[in-house]
Amino acid sequence: MIRARPVARLAELRLLVWVAAFSVAGYVAVVAAASGRFAWYEVAVPLAVLAIFGALHLFLVSVGFQGDQLLMPLALGLTSIGFILVERLAPTLLLQQLSWLVIAAGAFCGTILIPRDLSVLARFKYTWAFLGMLLLVSPLLPVIGREINGARIWVGLPGIAQFEPWELVKVALVIFFAAYLDEYREVLSTPPRRFGPIPVPPIPYLLPIVAMWLVAMLVMVFEKDLGATLLFFGIFLAMLYLATGEPFYVLIGLVMLAGGGFIAYHAFNHVAARIDVWLAPFDSDLRFDQAYQLTQGLFSLANAGILGAGLGNGMPERIPVVWSDFVFAAFTEEVGFVGALALLAFYLVFVYRGMLIALRAPTTLLQLVAAGLSFIIAFQTLVIVAGNSKLIPLTGITLPFVAYGGSSLVTNFVLCALLLRVSDITARVRR
């Protein structure tokens, strides 16, 4: 397991210096553009953020961690962009976001330390699935569940804190799928019968998977959250493909999703409204009503041009709840298309690095876990960025590490730590 002998992590340190540099530069640009009075915490928070970054690095050094050195600077770079944007768009939320970062950093360290060889994940897979389901339905429970902006996906105590449990569920889901598929992948990838080119898998092995599909659809119905539904389904199809390499499963899955979506469009107003807004946001009946957020987001993107309006000089605050749903559009407006490409490159490198970790991992279980977790980051980024730019209907998925929101930050730090753990195990086995 992890040695207590410290190791130098110089590549990571060098990259973190860059992160600190652009974090400070971005922050100064925002504050300078605002040119008004600002609160004490607007100075304290960025310093605290950098201190936490440094502490995380020192922590990895002190436990003799041998995992990947690129992943954490990438995640922290994205996190610091997130903080710059919170300062830009909603400075009053800074302190809250900082306290979530502290919790996230704690969860990160905990994940690095606790699951010693990660096989514990496989051993208790049904426990994970059960816990995941419990978390998933928790917003539907009376007292603690609550509905915000039309989606019933929150739990919390009034006035204290609110949490979106499905953020954590997605990690539990990847672990469950990885463990389940690792165990049954031979049966699933070499089905005994084929119906023409279509593989007919043994039904009993497919049942848990179809059950997950049903659950995802139920979530959409009862919690009115398209984003979570789409994400769960995406994870499910990606994992199925990773384990079996069978494109027909993906095809069947997509057909089922399209079918479910079609029924939902006709049966549920909130789904139909999303689709209508997506098809014609500038329709005169919609543009000031349901499509207001999307059209304002598109105006924001249009104001970007090549180099953007400059940090602090755009008008993204016109977009309702810009700091969570439209943080990408806001960022793009002020740093331009070039900046947007740079941000997407950040994610692509993160995903690439994660997939590399998966490729090198010593067991199929770890491979599936690492690839699944990397896929989450890729998928979330794609779904929200494509939603912001009207390529697909908008869903309330968060931009990983950047969008304001505690549940998402904590989960993504745990996710990053798990990826690092896989690379650490690989490094130790390979030696």
Q: Which residues bind other proteins (CB under 8 A)?
A: 1-5, 63, 113, 117-119, 122, 182, 185-186, 189, 238, 241-243, 245, 287-289, 295-296, 298-299, 301-306, 315, 318, 332, 336-337, 340-341, 344, 347-348, 351-352, 355, 358-359, 362-368, 371, 375, 378, 381-382, 385-386, 388-391, 425, 428-429
Residue (104 or 368) nearer to other proteins, CB = 368
Residue (270 or 287) nearer to other proteins, CB = 287
Write down the least CB distance from residue 350 to other proteins, Å. Answer: 11
Residue (75 or 243) nearer to other proteins, CB = 243
Residue (41 or 241) nearer to other proteins, CB = 241
Beta bridge partners of 161: 157
Residue (40 or 288) nearer to other proteins, CB = 288
Tokens of 115: 């699951």
Write down the least CB distance from residue 154 to other proteins, Å. Answer: 26
**Cα–Cα nearest to 59, from 116, 115, 106:** 106
Write down the least CB distance from residue 89 to other proteins, Å. Answer: 16
Residue type at position 353: R
Write down the least CB distance from residue 314 to other proteins, Å. Answer: 8
Write down the least CB distance from residue 332 to other proteins, Å. Answer: 6
* Beta-carbon contacts of residue 92 (< 8 Å; ≥ 6 apart): none
Diameter of the chain by CA atoms?
71
Other C-beta atoms closer than 10 Å to the C-beta of 225 total 23
Write down the least CB distance from residue 186 to other proteins, Å. Answer: 8
Please name the residue that has the structure tokens 């690129």.
70
Residue (33 or 386) nearer to other proteins, CB = 386
Other C-beta atoms closer than 10 Å to the C-beta of 140 total 15
Cβ burial, residue 368 (10 Å; 0-12/13-18/19+): buried
Residue type at position 291: A
Phi, psi of 421 (to 5 degrees): -60, -40
Sheet containing strand 145-148, edge to edge, reads: 145-148, 151-157, 161-163
Write down the least CB distance from residue 30 to other proteins, Å. Answer: 19
Write down the least CB distance from residue 137 to other proteins, Å. Answer: 30
Residue (89 or 153) nearer to other proteins, CB = 89
**Cα–Cα nearest to 84, from 32, 157, 134, 131:** 32
Residue (182 or 223) nearer to other proteins, CB = 182
* Three-class secondary structure of residue 117 per DSSP: coil
Cα(163)–Cα(236) distance, integer angstroms: 23
Cα(98)–Cα(429) distance, integer angstroms: 37
